[in-house]
Chains A and B, each alone.
Chain A
Amino acid sequence: MLKNIQEWVMVFLIIGAIILIGNWVGYDILPTAAIPGILTLIAICLLGLIIHRLLPFKLPSIAYIGILGFVLTIPGVPGSTYIVQWTNEVTLLAITTPILAYAGISIGGSWADFAKLGWKTIVVGMCVLIGTFMGSAIIAEIVLRFQGII
C-alpha cells in the first residue's frame, strides 16, 4: 500500500507538471499561480484512491474522488473557498489535453483490431454514441424547461 502511494505520487507529479505547462502555454496561467490548485487536485485523487483501497464497498475509485472534491467545496465547509480559488487556476481544457494524449498513444495498440471492424460496426457505433448523448440531452432539456430552470 505504502509502495503504491509512493508510485501514485510520482505519476501524479509528472502528469501535474505536464498540466501546468499546458495551462501556461495554452491558457496563459503562470505555473506559480496554478501550483496550489494542481496540488489540491492531486491530494484529492490520492485520498480517493486510498479510501477506495480501505473501504469494502464495490464503488469505483473515481466515485470516491468525485464525491470528495464535491464535499470539500460545498459552501461553508472549512477551507472550501481556498480550494475553489486555487483549483480555478487549473483550466479544465489543460487537464483534458494530456489525458487524450495518453489515450491516443494507448489507442494505437488497439488499431489493428479497429482496422478489422466492418463499416457496419462503425455506423452502428456512431449511432450508439449519438443515441446516448442526444437521449440524455433531450430528457435534460425537457425536465429543465419544465422546471423553469432554463
Chain B
Amino acid sequence: MAQQLQRLWKDWRLHTLVLAIVLLTEMIGTHEVSIGPGLILLLPMLYAVIIGIALFFTPLVNEKQTKHAEQLVFLSVTLLIAKFGVQAGPALPKLIAAGPALLLQEFGNLGTIFLALPVAILLGLKRETIGMTHSIGREANIALISDKYGFASPEGRGVMAMYIFGTVFGAIFMGLISGFLSSVTPMHPLSFAMATGIGSGSMAAAGLGPLVAAFPDMSEEIIAFSGASNLASTVTGLYMSIFIALPLTEKMYGWFRGKKDKNPTKIPSRNQRRCYKLC
C-alpha cells in the first residue's frame, strides 16, 4: 500500500492533467439548459468527468494513470466528506429537528426495487434482476451478492453490470437528473438534499452540485442535510441491503415472475440450483 501510494503522489502527469481539467472547466463555468419545464445545470464537474473519460482515449493517459486515479478518487472524496462534516456541526439543531426524516428516508433507497425491478422483468431479464436492482450496486453489494449467490451466478453478473454502469455513468446521470428533478417537481430542495445520500461518494457529489448551484441561499443547509444522509447511508447501507433490500427483492422477483409466467413455477432454492449446475 505504501509503495503504491508513493507512486500515487509522484504521478505528476496525472495531477497536471487534473489541474488542467479543473482550470479549463472552471473557466467555462456553469451553464443552464431548459428542457420543457425543467432545468439542467451543466456544472464544471460534469465537464470534468467527460473530459476525463475522453482523455483515456488519448496517449496522455495510460493504464497506470487510471489505476492511480481510482485511488485518488477515494482520497479526494474524503475531503468532500470532511466538508460535509464541518457543514453539519453548525446545523446540529436543524438536523436533530429533521432526524425522523433523515432516518426514514434511508428506506427510500428501496425505491430502486419498486421502480427498476418491474422494468427489468418487463425487459425479460431473469435472475440478473436480483443483482441489478436490490441496490445501487457498489463494492459492498458485490461482496454481498458474491457471498450469497457466488460471483459467477446470474445474480453476480447482474450486480457487476450495475457496478460498471454506476461507475461510468452514475455521476454524470446523477448530476443531470438531480437539478432537473428538483426543478420540475414541487418538492423541497432539502428533501432532494437528503436523497443525495445514496451510498456512493462521487454520485453524491454529482447529485449535490446542481442543488447547491440552483439554491445558493440554502446551500449551507443543503450540504449539511446531504452530508448527514450520506453518513447514514454509509453506516446503514450494507445492513439495509442484507436484512431488507435483498429479501424484498427476492420476494418481489418471485411475485412478478409468477404473474408473468402463464404456468408459474416455483423459484428453485439455492441448493436446488446448485444441483442443476452439478447435474
Binding site for B on A (CB under 8 A): 3-4, 7-8, 10-12, 14-16, 18-19, 21-22, 25-27, 40-42, 44-45, 48-49, 59-63, 65-75, 77, 80, 83-84, 87, 90, 92-111, 113-114, 117, 120-141, 143-144, 147, 149-150
Within the complex, what minimum Cβ distance (angstroms) separates B196 from chain A? 8
Q: Which residues of A contact B215 (CB under 8 A)?
A: none
| Docked-complex contact B109 and A136, CB < 8 angstroms | yes
Q: Which residues of A contact B168 (CB under 8 A)?
A: 107, 110-111, 114
| Docked-complex contact B235 and A59, CB < 8 angstroms | yes
Nearest 7 Cβ contacts at the A-B interface: A104-B52, A135-B111, A69-B85, A108-B56, A73-B89, A136-B108, A26-B26
**Which one of B45, B63, B77, B167 has the highest number of Cβ atoms from chain A below 10 Å of its Cβ?**
B45
Interface status of B115 (Cβ within 8 A of chain A): yes
Contacts A65-B82, A98-B76; is A129 near B166 (CB within 8 Å)? yes
Which of the 9-residue segments B144-152, B183-191, B260-268 touches chain A?
Answer: B183-191
Binding site for A on B (CB under 8 A): 1-2, 5-6, 8-9, 14-15, 17-19, 21-23, 25-27, 29, 43-46, 48-53, 55-57, 61, 63, 65-67, 69-70, 72-73, 75-90, 92, 97-98, 100-102, 104-116, 119-120, 123-125, 129, 132-133, 135-137, 161-162, 164-171, 173-174, 177-178, 181, 187-188, 190-192, 194-198, 201-203, 205-209, 212-213, 219, 223, 227, 229-231, 234-235
Q: How many A-B residue pairs have CB under 8 A?
A: 424
Within the complex, what minimum Cβ distance (angstroms) separates A144 from chain B? 5
| Docked-complex contact A117 and B85, CB < 8 angstroms | no
